[in-house]
Structures are given as structure tokens and as C-alpha cells.
Amino acid sequence: MRLTPERLEAAARTLLVATGAPEGHANAVAASLVDADLRGHGSHGVIRVPLYAGKIADGALNPTAVPTVDHDGGATVRLDGQHAFGQVVGREAVSLLGERAAEHGIAAVGMRDATHLGRVGEWGERVADAGLCFAAFVNSQSGGYNVAPAGSADRLLSTNPICFGVPTFDTLPHDVVLDVATSQVAHGKVRETAWVGKEIPEGWAVDDAGNPYTDAAEFEKGVVGAQLPLGGTVSGYKGTGLAVVAELLAGIFGDGAVAGERDVERSNNAALFVAVDPLRFTARADVERRVRALTNHLDTADYESGPSPGAAARGDRFVMPGRPEYNALQRNRDGVEIDDAVVDRLRAVGEEYGATLEF
């Protein structure tokens, strides 16, 4: 089903209010979810509403909560997410980053108990749009084990996303924002595949014996299989190393738990966000020059007769980070395609809470 962004956002907002969210929170969360759909990341879009409703029903997410500052050192701040919507916590973190980086040139915000921070790339885009460089490291505070470390088929880690952003000012139509899981793919994409009744591609997961595993529905039951770390069976030690770094940085600076400290069913993000003003180190024109030079340099590659037509992860040629999301946004401005299975789940939440959706 193809829906306009306005209708999709209205539906998400209606459901969130029905589950107990104040109007302001519902507006913020719905806007972030639809933004993810518009930018081509449906795994982090409105498909999340039923999951949030489940967390609220279980008491794992407080729909009325707001994050609080429990440490303020000027350029360093720590937030207690209070189990609020992650999108509410993320907005507060980004606001603090912009304010403190403007004053000090650099700022760091740690946070814990942020439930699900959503598409971390959104926070990278917001910070880069403010002219700041960005880095983020996220863990799940001992919940959501889905990823095996290199050399194993046991679920011992989360997908632990990392994100980096660089403002391009007037050089490109978008900023350079890299948002990746430290596993082969975000777990949300496995869940999305299961919900729409498809199989996951080989290379995403293995069974208990280490063989390729493609049954998304069975994977979601948590009985068989583990996601592979970034690099898969070839160089998964790199993804495992990145996951370990993200796990520790998020836990240390967010003052939250790390994998192995406790056993919980649901993930609950802790994170470290860092922002740096590049203009404290160089001139804007020089940032633009460097972005332009690197972009042009990579464009000189012979993508037509290279060693492997499918070498790039997205399509048959490399594009600067942030470009796939920018291109998707241009395509989807008038409407985004939502799988019927997802629409059915949204309707089911509406029926459960007595909310009518205008689909």
C-alpha cells in the first residue's frame, strides 16, 4: 500500500496517543518513524509502532517519561532516559550537543535507559545539518542478543550500531552520514523480513552449526540461528571488534549495563554521542574543498568493468554515505510503499486500543 507521508504520520501518531503517549511525544516519535520510511529504512519506520505498544504494555517503555540530566559538566552531559521513547531522548541529546559544542567546540552526551533510539542516522543528520561532526556508539544494555562473535554461532552480542556524520555545507545536496550496525545487517531488517513473509539472504545469519540460515520467522522466535558480525565469515573479527568498542563506550559514558552484566528480554539503548565543530580546526571553504576532492576522486573508479558487478553493498557502484537516504527521500516525498503485512499489524494495534486509522 502506498501512503502519503502525512497519512502515515497521522496513523502512527494516532496509535501512539492511543497507547498512552502525550501529543508532543507522539508527534516527535511519529515524525522520526516516518522519516525512516521516507529515507528507505522501513525496518526503523512505522513497523516499530506495534513493538513500542508491546513495550508499553509490558512496562518496559514509559510513554509519558522525559529524560533527565544526572550529570552536567559543561561540555559533558549524562542523560537518564527514564525509559522514555528513544526518539524523545535522542532529540534532547542532539539539542544538548548543539548547545554545548557551540560553546566549547566539542561536546559529549552519554545516555542510558533510552529504550529504542530509532534510526541513529537521524541524529547524525541533525547534528551534521548544524555544521558539526558527529560520532555515536550504541548498545542494548544486555538485551537483544542476536549476534554471534567471530568464531561462534552463539547469540552473545547486540547489533550495536555506530554512526558518523560530516557536514558538507554547500558541496553536496546532503551531508556525509554513515549509520551501520556492527553486524552484517540491523536486526530490524531481519524482523521486517519475517513480518512480510520472506527469507533472509545467505550471509546474514548462521544456524547453530555455523551453516547459512535463512528462515527469518524461526530466527525471530529466538530458538535457532545468530546474526553474523560485520564482515561475516570472511572478516567477522572486524565487526566483532567494532561491536565490543560500541558496547563499552555506550556502557561507560551512558553509565549503563554492558553485555554479560545482566539477563533481560528487551533491549534498552545506552549510547555515547559526540559532536565537534570542524570550524575550530579548519575553514569552511577547506571542509568543502576536501569533501569535493574525495567525492570526485571516488567517482573516477571504473564501475563498469570492475572486478565484481555487485561489489557495492547498495547497487553496483559506491556512493557517498548519506546519498542512498537522500535519493530515497526524493523518490518517496509523495508516497511511501508500506507492505500490507505491516498495515495489518498497525490496524491490529488500532483495534486493540480502540483507535481508528485512516487507511
Q: Under a CB-based contact definition with an 8 Å cutoff, are residues 269 and 129 in contact?
A: no
Q: How far apart are the first and last CA of the chain?
A: 9
Number of domains in the chain: 1
Residue 314 clears pLDDT 60, i.e. is over it: no
CATH assignment of the domain containing 17: 1.10.1530.10
In a domain, 270, yes or no: no
- Residues 76-96, mean pLDDT to the nearest whole number: 98
Distances (CA, A) of 51 to 142, 188, 284, 309, 323: 18, 11, 42, 38, 29
Residue 207 clears pLDDT 60, i.e. is over it: yes
What's the pLDDT tens digit per position in 235-245? 999 999 999 99
In a domain, 42, yes or no: yes
The residue segments making up the domain with residue 33 are 1-62+334-359
The contacts of residue 148 (CB under 8 Å, 6+ apart) are: 154, 155, 156, 157, 206, 226, 227, 228, 229
Residue 284 clears pLDDT 70, i.e. is over it: yes
Instruction: For residue 134, give the DSSP letter.
Output: E
What's the confidence (pLDDT) of residue 179? 98
Spatial distance between the Cα atoms of 212 and 156, rounded to a whole number of angstroms: 18
Categorize the per-residue pLDDT at 306 as very low, low, confident or very high, splitting at 50, 70 and 90. low
What's the pLDDT tens digit per position in 212-222? 999 999 999 98
What's the confidence (pLDDT) of residue 190? 93
In a domain, 347, yes or no: yes
- CA-based nearest residue to 255, from 39, 157, 359, 108: 108
Average pLDDT for the chain: 94
In a domain, 7, yes or no: yes
Categorize the per-residue pLDDT at 307 as very low, low, confident or very high, splitting at 50, 70 and 90. low
Residue 310 clears pLDDT 60, i.e. is over it: no
Give the distance from CA 278 to its chain's centroid.
24
In a domain, 221, yes or no: no
**What predicted TM-score, i.e. pTM, was given to this entire model?**
0.95
In a domain, 84, yes or no: no
Categorize the per-residue pLDDT at 261 as very low, low, confident or very high, splitting at 50, 70 and 90. very high
Residue 315 clears pLDDT 80, i.e. is over it: no
Residue 317 clears pLDDT 90, i.e. is over it: no
- Which of 44-48, 147-151, 297-301 shows the lowest per-residue confidence on average (mean pLDDT)? 297-301
Spatial distance between the Cα atoms of 127 and 120, rounded to a whole number of angstroms: 11
In a domain, 15, yes or no: yes
In a domain, 262, yes or no: no
